[in-house]
């Protein structure tokens, strides 16, 4: 089984990626778990890339790999093997119904054919080959922070499912050190900082609304 050490490795590498070979996008990252909304993802290739395409998520500190027929595997199995990828490719489309509430990252990488996806030296594009987005499924608005109901946290300007104040891309804001889903200065757990008197999603001392005091 692929444990947390590998996941940390993936996350560290994703933090240093600048220009990826393909970009994962989604219509919404905040998903209801009542079956009324779909979890979807598209891999957008700016130019043709040849190799094995891997799509993976993290569940209970383990990596699960998506196979094109919809199955999941704990073993590294390509979503689509030894192919040339270009344009937009649908890699995920499933219902959020019944999924345990939580935060679920989605990773995408293309490797050289028949090589280990957990070794970044096999990635097409090297460190820049990894793309990721984050889903927030079945959590209340106080934790998802999607107060305007556009499908993304209000402080997620690039719509990748990560807060703009989540520098390590672990799915939690940098000011949520205990990872309980609330800012550390949100003692009443209403989804707003206790220093956000007008409830606009920004602290009163963040006058330029960039996510920082």
Convert the pLDDT of each residue in 51-69 to its tens digit.
Answer: 999 999 999 889 999 998 8
Q: For the chain, where are the alpha helices, taking DSSP H only?
A: 4-16, 141-144
- Report how far residue 27's alpha carbon sits from residue 44's, in angstroms, rounded to the nearest whole number: 13
Question: Is residue 17 very low, low, confident or very high in pLDDT (cuts 50, 70, 90)?
Answer: very low
φ, ψ for residue 15 (rounded to 5)? Answer: -70, -30
Which residues neighbour 143 within 8 Å (Cβ) at sequence distance 6 or greater?
Answer: 136, 181, 182, 191
Our measurement of the distance from residue 89's CA atom to the centroid of its chain's CA atoms, rounded to an integer in Å, reads 17
For all residues of the chain together, what is the average pLDDT?
85
- What does the pLDDT look like over 5-16, one tens digit per residue? 555 455 544 444
Residue scoring higher pLDDT (194 or 39): 39
Pairing of strands 131-137, 30-31: parallel
pLDDT on residue 18: 45
Q: Would you tell me how many other CB atoms lie within 10 Å of the CB of residue 38?
A: 15
Domains of the chain by residue range: 4-139
Question: Is residue 94 very low, low, confident or very high in pLDDT (cuts 50, 70, 90)?
Answer: very high
Q: What percent of the chain has a predicted confidence (pLDDT) above 70?
A: 88
- What does the pLDDT look like over 145-191, one tens digit per residue? 999 999 999 988 999 888 888 877 777 777 888 777 777 778 777 77
Q: Would you tell me how many other CB atoms lie within 10 Å of the CB of residue 140?
A: 10
Pairing of strands 38-59, 102-111: antiparallel
Residue 4 pLDDT exceeds 50: no
Where does 4-139 sit in CATH, by number? 2.60.40.1930
pLDDT on residue 122: 95
- What does the pLDDT look like over 113-141, one tens digit per residue? 999 999 999 999 888 889 999 999 999 99
Specify the range with the lowest mean pLDDT, choosing from 48-52, 71-75, 103-107, 192-196. 192-196
| Cα torsion 66, 71, 76, 77: sign | negative
């Amino acid at each position: 089984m692929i444990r947390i050490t590998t996941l940390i490795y993936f996350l560290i590498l994703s933090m240093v990626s600048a220009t990826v070979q393909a970009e994962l996008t989604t219509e919404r990252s905040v998903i209801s778990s009542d079956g009324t909304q779909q979890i979807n993802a598209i891999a957008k290739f700016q130019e043709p890339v040849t190799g094995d395409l891997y799509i993976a998520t993290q569940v209970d500190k383990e990596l699960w790999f998506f196979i094109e027929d919809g199955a999941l595997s704990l073993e590294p199995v390509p979503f689509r093997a030894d192919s040339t990828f270009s344009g937009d490719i649908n890699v995920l489309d499933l219902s959020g119904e019944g999924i345990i509430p939580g935060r679920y990252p989605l990773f995408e990488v293309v490797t050289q054919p028949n090589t280990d996806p957990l070794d970044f030296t096999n990635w097409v594009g090297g460190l820049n080959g990894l793309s990721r987005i984050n889903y927030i499924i079945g959590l209340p608005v106080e934790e998802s922070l999607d107060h305007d109901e556009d499908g993304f946290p209000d402080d997620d300007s690039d719509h990748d499912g990560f807060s703009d104040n989540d520098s390590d891309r672990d799915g939690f804001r940098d000011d949520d050190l205990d990872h309980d889903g609330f800012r550390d200065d949100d003692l009443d757990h209403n989804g707003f900082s206790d220093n956000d008197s007008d409830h606009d999603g920004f602290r009163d001392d963040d006058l330029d609304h960039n996510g920082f005091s």
